[in-house]
Amino acid sequence: MSFIDKILYILYPEKCAFCGKVMPRSETGVYICAECMDKIRFCVNERCCSICGTPIDQDKNICGECFDLRKSGGSMNYDRIISACVYDENTKGGILNFKRGFASGSYKTFGGMIAASVSGKLKKIDLIAAVPPRKERMRNPGFDQCHILAAEVSKRLEVPYMKNILCRVRETTKQTSLSGDMRRENLFGAFEVKIDPGFINKKNILVIDDVKTTGSTFNECARALKEKGAAHVYGASVAETDFENS
Check whether residue 66 and residue 12 sit in a common domain: no
Check whether residue 27 and residue 119 sit in a common domain: no
pLDDT grade, residue 187 (50/70/90)? confident
Higher pLDDT, 132 or 10: 132
Please classify residue 217 by burial: count the beta carbons closer than 10 Å to its beta carbon, then call 0-12 exposed, 13-18 middle and 19+ buried: buried
- Per-residue model confidence (pLDDT) at position 246: 44
Give the whole-number percent of the chain exceeding pLDDT 90: 60
Check whether residue 113 and residue 166 sit in a common domain: yes
Check whether residue 98 and residue 6 sit in a common domain: no
Judged against a pLDDT cut of 70, whether residue 156 lies above it is answered with yes
Check whether residue 114 and residue 184 sit in a common domain: yes
- Per-residue model confidence (pLDDT) at position 1: 53
Contact in structure between 218 and 235 (CB atoms under 8 Å): yes
Check whether residue 35 and residue 57 sit in a common domain: no
Check whether residue 27 and residue 84 sit in a common domain: no
Check whether residue 138 and residue 184 sit in a common domain: yes
In a domain, 174, yes or no: yes
In a domain, 91, yes or no: yes
Lowest mean pLDDT among 98-102, 187-191, 197-201: 187-191
Check whether residue 111 and residue 189 sit in a common domain: yes
CATH of the domain at 136: 3.40.50.2020
In a domain, 246, yes or no: no
Lowest mean pLDDT among 74-83, 123-132, 153-162: 74-83
In a domain, 200, yes or no: yes
Check whether residue 199 and residue 84 sit in a common domain: yes
Lowest mean pLDDT among 72-81, 84-93, 105-114: 72-81
Check whether residue 70 and residue 190 sit in a common domain: yes
In a domain, 138, yes or no: yes
Judged against a pLDDT cut of 70, whether residue 82 lies above it is answered with yes
Check whether residue 31 and residue 104 sit in a common domain: no
Q: In whole numbers, what is the pLDDT of the chain averaged over residues?
A: 86
Mean pLDDT score, 227-236: 97
Q: Look up the domain containing 16 and give its range.
A: 1-39
Number of domain units in the chain: 2
